[in-house]
Structure 1
Amino acid sequence: MTHSDIEHTAMGRALALAQRGPRGVNPQVGAVILSPSGDVIAEGWHRGTGTRHAEVDALSQLPAGAARGATAVVTLEPCNHTGHTGPCSEALIEVGIGRVVYAVDDPGLHSHGGADRLRAAGVDVAPGLRGDDGRALLDSWLTVQRLGRPHVTVKWAQSLDGRAAAADGTSQWITGPSAREDVHRRRSQADAIVAGTGTVLADDPALTARRPDGSLYEQQPVPVVLGARPIPDDAAVHRHPQPPVLHTDHDLPALLADLRVRGVQRLFVEGGPTVASAFVRAGLADELLVYVAPTLLGVGPDGADRPALGALGVRTITEQRRIAVASIQRLGDDLLIVAHPAPGAEETG
């Protein structure tokens, strides 16, 4: 194997090690130390807030002097600041590392700059190895760094004519089993799921992520209930594997700030038309999942209407909320439209 091949393989191992660490406020990072001859001599990963970073975790396994002239292969640019632990760039310099290869630049306001510090100390630095894989691993964390808040996915199901429920409020089920299975799979990939008190009181959802056989996914989103109305003690949400987070107002920036502190990186909004509209109206919807069923609900005999979205603040056609469709997928008889704010649309932190 060439030296390049060895580093490429080592980065694959570092990416796998990174996934052993917890998702949360801090990024998942893995590190592999290669001897000057290309042999793996140490491995490490970050185990969570307050623990050693991946590079330091790997270096801690080596006797004094063993890392001199070695290569550190890391999934994220070594940090350059002191937080719960010291700068990884400084730790690498102190042990005499000769080369550092990493996948993704650190976008942190205070933590970036490790590569420059290493170069200034005479360390050979090679960024971008398997960068696409590194960004895929750190996607949600990188989004949080860029936006300063969790990534928000807003989901709703609707009839072909844009209704979320019949005139009397009944809505189970507009979509079929394949669409509902897809929703639960996506729930399992989120850190938290939010619903409004109206939906919780009307439908009594468990807000869990379930397989078609009814069993729970191992990864369960934290249930978040938004609104001032009290939730009954026997509500299904109280039987969720994780205790619900209750927010008694509709201050969405405050909600997102609180969830970020709690380690939430991906928020799944499934709270009915009022909550969905609030996130879209505030410019806080980074991704839209629209499940469209081949059915028509129209307006009730008494004029009652249950649109999938409510007021968005659009008064004239020039204020319309343009979106970019990323994909359209057929799920049984239903369609899933995945969309994002159109290029140039303002992101709100």
Structure 2
Amino acid sequence: MAGFITDEAAMAHALELALRGPAAGPNPRVGCVLLRDGQVIGEGWHRGAGTPHAEVDALCGVDARGATAVVTLEPCAHTGRTGPCAQALIDAGVAEVVIAVEDPNPVAGGGAQLLRAAGIEVRTGVGAESVRRMLEPWLVAVGRGRPFVTLKLASTLDGRVAAADGSSRWITSAESREHAHRLRAEVDAILVGTGTALIDRPALTARLPDGSLAEHQPLRVVLGDREVPGDWLRITGHDPAEALAQLAAREVRHVLVEGGPTVSAAFLRAGMVDRVLAYIAPVLLGDGRSAVQSLGIGTLADGIRLRTEQVQMRGPDVLLSARVEEEI
């Protein structure tokens, strides 16, 4: 196997391993590399809830006595669907554990303390920035006790989601829609309002470029009081906080809010949007439905200011990724 000169290089490889795991689900993506004299003697990653954690996966069939374990997330110290990973590392006889990010989960945290109590050297913060970026939805969800919320907007250049006659398909390009379907395949739930459900009749499925269903399908959620057709989870009322509380109880970590304008405005007014993804098509309508309804803002100084994170081209469209505030 390959060798690594620095802990940072080994952590970068552990991050690559973590990314092989599923983005959706209640558990975080985690990767682990076992080193002896700079050489990889074992590696593993977490494949989803109920499967071995990355550390246990890496330890399988490996003599790890005196080895260094490089792990993207602090090894857990509790017994859930699986046993505590910190104890597994102790039992395996590792001499050192290098951790990128400490576990904020009050239930699972404490692994580093357990390792140190067993006489194992523990270092934290190696490669933390990249790992935090990868784990952001999970970290925010665990830290705040509610799902991470991505608000998706798809509009014309002048901010319309439908023309005056109600026509709305398709404002954005096939390239934008393909990217949006990839995003759907990485979130735990998609949420829309009853208006969008009744007017647009969206399938809310995640599809591959060939039109087939992706392996992972998010929970489909509709918020509002009107009855809607479809096998969806219906949350009555119009309170984003209550909706997120119900989804958190289902171990939903990442919610994609796809509108319409009323629901988008409700989440923004409630301060419960973490990231905005805006697909902007080079089309002008001048009239029609706005992407977001009134936010109750009367002057420019009170506007919700976003921090631009990334701008990409998706076919003829522009995809703008922006943050409402610094999350991690």
Which band: TM-score by shorter chain? 0.7 to 0.9
The equivalences for 1:52-201 within 5 A come to: 52-59=52-59, 61=61, 66-201=63-198
1:322–1:91 distance in 2 versus 1, CA, 3 Å: same
**Cα shift readout 1:205-228 (whole Å, capped 9, x = no counterpart):** 111233454333333332212222
Structure 2 partner of 1:287: 275
**Secondary structure of 2:143's partner?**
helix
Q: Pick the structure with greater CA Rg.
A: 1
Residue 31 of structure 2 aligns with an amino acid whose one-letter code is: G
* Percent identical residues: 53
Structure 2 partner of 1:302: none
Structure 2 partner of 1:28: 29
Q: Give, in whole Å, the separation in 2 of the partners of 1:181 and 1:44.
A: 31
**Secondary structure of 1:189's partner?**
coil
Q: Give, in whole Å, the separation in 2 of the partners of 1:10 and 1:170.
A: 52
> Where do 5+ consecutive residues of structure 1 fail to align?
233-237, 300-304
* TM-score between both structures, scaled by the size of structure 2: 0.83
Residue from 334, 337, 340 that aligns with 2:317 = 334
Q: Give, in whole Å, the separation in 2 of the partners of 1:246 and 1:122.
A: 51
Residue 148 of structure 1 aligns with an amino acid whose one-letter code is: G
Contact in 2 for aligned 1:25/1:261 (Cα 8 Å): no
Residue from 235, 242, 245 that aligns with 1:257 = 245
Paired residue total = 326
Contact in 2 for aligned 1:25/1:260 (Cα 8 Å): no
Which one is further off, 107-116 or 284-293? 107-116
Structure 2 partner of 1:5: 5
1:31–1:201 distance in 2 versus 1, CA, 3 Å: same
**Secondary structure of 1:338's partner?**
strand
Q: Does 1:223 align with 2:220?
A: yes
Contact in 2 for aligned 1:291/1:337 (Cα 8 Å): yes
Q: Give, in whole Å, the separation in 1 of the partners of 2:285 and 2:59.
A: 63
Contact in 2 for aligned 1:289/1:337 (Cα 8 Å): yes
The Cα of 1:129 is off from its aligned counterpart by: 3.6
The equivalences for 1:231-310 within 5 A come to: 231-232=228-229, 238=230, 244-299=232-287, 306-310=289-293
What RMSD, in angstroms, separates the aligned Cα atoms of the two structures?
3.2
1:30–1:231 distance in 2 versus 1, CA, 3 Å: same
Which one is further off, 174-183 or 266-275? 174-183
The Cα of 1:49 is off from its aligned counterpart by: 4.1
Q: Give, in whole Å, the separation in 2 of the partners of 1:130 and 1:246.
A: 41
* TM-score between both structures, scaled by the size of structure 1: 0.79
